């Protein structure tokens, strides 16, 4: 990871991030001054699942990979790929509001440049620029609601594919022949 000192070169990219899109030039400048811009190489972790972190991230350039650890039958853990995020996408929104552990690991899939904003600096922005703070928070809340809706849709889809007892009875009847429960009528 390398910190980029010349933030001005990234102003246009930051303005394209949906979270910052509705900010005035002065409000965006405040965010840039409070934030850190970091460059990660391929495979470098940006956040690790389970870590406590008060940061919000916006991807300015490149692609990152999101994964979660999953237990295997032998008790080992393996990383399971969830998705890729690219320029304009954000992650770590929960770190703005709560002191919670990260729910996933995010690593650079290729060279990636991200803007990192600390919870306290966001609070200072909201205090100093209340109109801009409200706009930013509304976009973050909207983003979180979209992610929640997508997760709910995925759960609903998975639930539809779950087998119920009638499916199990039918499968067993086909396999062993005859009626479920081991009796032939």
Q: Which residues of the chain have pLDDT under 50?
A: none
Task: Report d(CA 39, CA 112) in Å as an integer.
Answer: 6
Q: Note the pLDDT of residue 153.
A: 84
Contact 63, 89 (CB under 8 A): no
Residue ranges of domains in the chain: 2-159
Q: Does domain 2-159 have CATH number 1.10.1760.20?
A: no
For the entire predicted model, the pTM comes to 0.79
Residues 6+ apart with CB under 8 A from 137: 126
What local confidence, expressed as pLDDT, does residue 29 receive?
Answer: 95
- DSSP code per residue over 78-117: EEEEEEEE-TT-EE-THHHH---B-SSEEEESSSEEEEEE
Q: Are the C-beta atoms of residues 78 and 70 closer than 8 Å to each other?
A: yes
State pLDDT tens for residues 84-130.
Answer: 999 999 999 988 888 889 999 999 999 999 999 999 999 999 999 99
Strand ordering across the sheet containing 90-91: 2-4, 36-40, 112-118, 55-61, 90-91
For the chain, give the mean pLDDT.
Answer: 89
């Amino acid at each position: 990871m390398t910190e980029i000192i010349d933030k001005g070169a990234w102003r246009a990219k930051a303005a394209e991030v949906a979270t910052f899109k509705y900010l005035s030039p002065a409000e965006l400048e405040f965010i840039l001054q409070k934030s850190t811009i970091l460059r990660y190489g391929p495979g470098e972790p940006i956040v690790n699942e389970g870590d406590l972190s008060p940061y919000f991230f916006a991807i300015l350039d490149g692609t990152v990979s999101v994964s979660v650890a999953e237990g295997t039958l032998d008790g080992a853990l393996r990383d399971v790929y969830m998705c890729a995020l690219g320029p304009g996408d954000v992650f770590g929104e929960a770190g703005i509001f709560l002191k919670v552990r990260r729910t996933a690991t995010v690593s650079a899939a290729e060279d990636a440049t991200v803007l990192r904003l600390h919870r306290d600096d966001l609070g200072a922005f909201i205090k100093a620029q209340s109109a801009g703070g409200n706009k930013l928070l509304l976009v973050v809340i909207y983003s979180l609601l979209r992610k929640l809706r997508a997760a709910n849709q995925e759960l609903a889809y998975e639930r539809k594919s779950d087998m119920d007892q009638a499916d199990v009875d039918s499968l067993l009847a086909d396999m062993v022949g005859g009626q479920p429960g081991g009796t032939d009528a």
